Amino acid sequence: MVHSWVTAGSTPASSIHNRSASIKSGRAAQPRASVTSSWKMARSLFFLFAFLVLFSGLTLMHTFASTGEVSPASSGELVVSIDSGDTLWQLAKTYKKDAIDTRQAIDYILKRNGLSTSEVKVGQTIIIPARILS
């Protein structure tokens, strides 16, 4: 008769054993599905937060990017118009200080004018930065 009482109860005997073990350890028994679903939720929230932080950082970087326009020449800079046969090498060598390497002067000119290559065209205006002028 005792046997029928244990099997007829609402919880199986193995569940009763697990519950008594968890009570002895000092924590309440939780179903396994609840624990894994809470970890999945926490992991999802973490990735969502990380994505939002990354996306907002990229958005801020975009707003501070340059417009691609070259600012007008300041009072210490020189504006040169390109004639036929002129190269950036010749311009840099002509206007640079003796202490500056010609390649470094070309790099300064490229950056100041927003150029990606050293090719120049007839009629193009180039700003010679004040830092390389002698």
Specify whether the CB–CB gap between 88 and 118 falls below 8 A.
yes
C-alpha angle with apex 31: 25 to 37, nearest 5 degrees?
Answer: 120
pLDDT tens digits, 78-131: 999 999 999 999 999 999 999 999 999 999 999 999 898 989 999 999 999 988
Look at residue 4 and tell me whether its pLDDT is greater than 70. Answer: no
DSSP 33: H
Tokens at 90, concatenated: 């010749």
Tokens at 76, concatenated: 């210490």
Tokens at 4, concatenated: 């029928």
pLDDT tens digits, 16-29: 555 555 555 555 55
Q: What is the pLDDT of residue 17?
A: 53
